Amino acid sequence: MKSFLRWIVCAGVFQLAIGCSSGGLSAGNSEAEKENKMDSDSEIVLVPVGSPVVTGNTLAFDVVSFGCTQATDFLVETRVAENQCKVRIIRQKQDFCKAAPEKMSIRFDWNPPAECDGLDVVFENPELQ
């Protein structure tokens, strides 16, 4: 009965709101899931960013805001591949406000992981037009 109810909830419109997966309910916050996010491209929609740059311990980029975007809405994921430090900026909280869209600059403290020392930083997000 429990699995049947889980299937009904996951098959319905609540799937996006509660984070269902084909294996049942999932909060999406386990350490294993966070570590594997870089490898599961089908689950990630990269937000377009403009002018991404790392200066010292600061990461800065532009995004489109509808009035409610904050720096805390984003997560930075990194991996080393092809002798580069590859960076993805993931929007964790969507901006559902109804203001006219405008470009917004986001800045926050960010220290690249040690395995990125001496490597070029390459952003994998699409470019904001």
Question: First and final CA of the chain: distance in angstroms?
Answer: 49
pLDDT at 119: 94
pTM above 0.75, yes or no: no
pLDDT, tens only, 20-42? 333 333 333 333 334 334 444 44
Residues 6+ apart with CB under 8 A from 110: 54, 57, 58, 59, 76
Inter-residue contact 15 to 26 (CB < 8 Å)? no
User: E strands within the chain?
Assistant: 20-21, 24-25, 50-55, 58-65, 74-81, 84-91, 102-109, 120-123
pLDDT at 27: 36
pLDDT, tens only, 57-108? 999 999 999 999 999 999 999 999 999 999 999 999 999 999 999 999 999 8
Distance, in Å, from the CA atom of 65 to the CA atom of 88, rounded to the nearest integer, reads 18
Residue 60 tokens read as 């800065």
